Chain A
Amino acid sequence: MRPRTSLASAPARSTMTLFVLALLVLAGCGEAPTEWREANPTVIGGTGTPRELDVEVGSILLESTLTADALQTVLSGYLEHLPADVGPPAPDRWDPRYTRVPFLDATPQVILQLIESLRRDPRIAFAAPCYSAYWGLEHPLYGYIERSYHQPLNGLHIQFYEGTSRLAMELVLEWIGGNDVQRPDPGDRPRSRQYRVHMTFPHGADPIAVASQVDRLEIVEWAEGSWMTSWVPLSASAPDPDLLVRPSMGTNHEAQQVPVRFPSRGASSTTADEMGVGLCG
């Protein structure tokens, strides 16, 4: 073995120590986690004008692997100190992957407080209230629309700008925690940059806020949370009852909407309130 040389002087050692410390400090530095919250969630309809969403108090939507009984136990723990009467959780009638929990008596504040707690609970993959928005205008397809009802789902749709590199897109998807990404098939649609993402939302995150943040990225043409949407006209006397309420799973972007029709109901016996409760109740 060669003897160590004397080139490593004390100043050199000190400089190196400082360099190493600087690297370690740099390694520890990081951007603070993005605050996935939005104070006033909005929805954009066919008019392009954003409307503020109001929390509906009829029910909330959960995604979890827990059984209904276990879910009720979890909810009871959170509701112990909240003035609300919760009904039995049951699979959602529109999308059975989710569990809907009805409320017999609750206020928007209680709903939001409960949702915030559930989003921080590792046993709950997804929790969201149902929203409504007041329109009071003539819709080009559905006629005069009084209110729309919106149920956020556990997913996002993202359209990247053409020319965006795949690495950048994958980085965004990993950043937001997409755990089940439907990528465009390069064989069928080689130039497509449209992704559908089933999310694992960061705990405490508001899915609408996540979509809003992603939408503001320069490489993203648009991003929006998955919704079930119900457009409720003022009058229930239109000739085709299926057109009265058309919940769609997807986004506000027409190209992304996957229509899911309500079961056929008689127009004469259906009111706007009943249809709203159909989605949010």
Chain B
Amino acid sequence: MTTSTPPTPVAALLAALTLLLMAAAPASAQGVGGLERETFFSAALGTGGMSCSECVGEWDIGASGYAGAGQRIGDRTVLGVELGLWARPVEGTVMYRLDYLATTRFAPFAGSGFFLKAGLGAATLNLHSEIGTARTTRLGGVAGLGYDFDVDAPFSLSLWIDAAGHLRSERAYGLHTGLAATWR
């Protein structure tokens, strides 16, 4: 007897967005995307939800974003570093996530702004209060995708969506989306 596990909302959303962006990619006329430059710096802002394996379906919605830098190592691949952010006020305290990640961005389609992203690093979850900061640090990862729109060189704007979380224990995970500005 076989059993199938229903896809999680995060996985389903990621899959749907991937298909949508892949379908749209040939029609877009972005020319070379941001990935074709040597170096880029980006900052992003958006919204995101965090949950955990013991959170019985509860999601905390807060502000999300990231800041990062990258270096192109091939036609379609960029290696970079990224500081992932998420924050939400909780009863007089601030709960926030800070992820320190090494990332890879890959553009599967030449001439399209579509990119995929994966990263690995230290994922921290913090609760800042008057008496100090409660912090847990674990191995974390991020997987995401986005689409880069050239606005006015050397600037571009990207729509992005990331799934991030603790890799080994799956104690905390989240889904984040927003708009990124890139300078290259």
Contacts and interface: CB of A to CB of B under 8 A. Distances in A.
Interface stretch (B11-19, B23-31, B131-139, B142-150): B131-139
Interface stretch (A38-46, A83-91, A150-158, A167-175): A167-175
Contacts of B131: 213, 216-217
Contact of B91 (A5, A31, A163): A163
Contacts of B54: 166, 170, 183
Given A30-B135, A175-B136, A218 B93 contact: yes
Interface string B106-150: 000000000000000110011101111111110000000000000
B132 A31 contact: yes
A19 B91 contact: no
B83 A219 contact: no
B127 A172 contact: yes
A16 B82 CA distance: 12
A219 B90 contact: yes
A20 B154 CA distance: 20
Given A23-B100, A165-B60, A170-B55, A16 B136 contact: no
B7 interface: no
Interface in A154-200: 161, 163-168, 170-172, 174-176, 183, 186
A16 B41 contact: yes
B61 to A, nearest CB: 10
Interface residues of B, number: 46
The dominant DSSP class at the B interface is: strand
B122 A168 contact: no
B134 A217 contact: yes
Given A12-B38, A165-B58, A171 B125 contact: yes
B95 A168 contact: yes
Nearest to B122: A27
Contacts of A81: none
B24 to A, nearest CB: 24
Interface in B162-184: 171-172, 184
B127 A174 contact: no
B56 interface: yes
Interface in B82-108: 82-83, 90-93, 95, 98, 100
A7 interface: yes
A175 B127 contact: yes
Nearest to B135: A31
Contacts of A13: 39
A234 to B, nearest CB: 39
Interface string A26-52: 110011001000000000000000000
A216 B82 CA distance: 34
B51 interface: yes
A176 B135 CA distance: 9
B39 A31 contact: no
A7 B122 contact: no
Interface string B30-50: 000000111101000000001
Contacts of A34: 132
Contacts of A166: 52, 54-56, 58
Given A165-B58, A168-B93, A168-B127, A7 B52 contact: no
9 contacts: A16-B39, A30-B137, A31-B132, A165-B55, A165-B58, A166-B58, A170-B55, A216-B129, A217-B127
Interface of A: 1-2, 4-8, 12-13, 15-16, 19-20, 23-24, 26-27, 30-31, 34, 161, 163-168, 170-172, 174-176, 183, 186, 213, 216-219
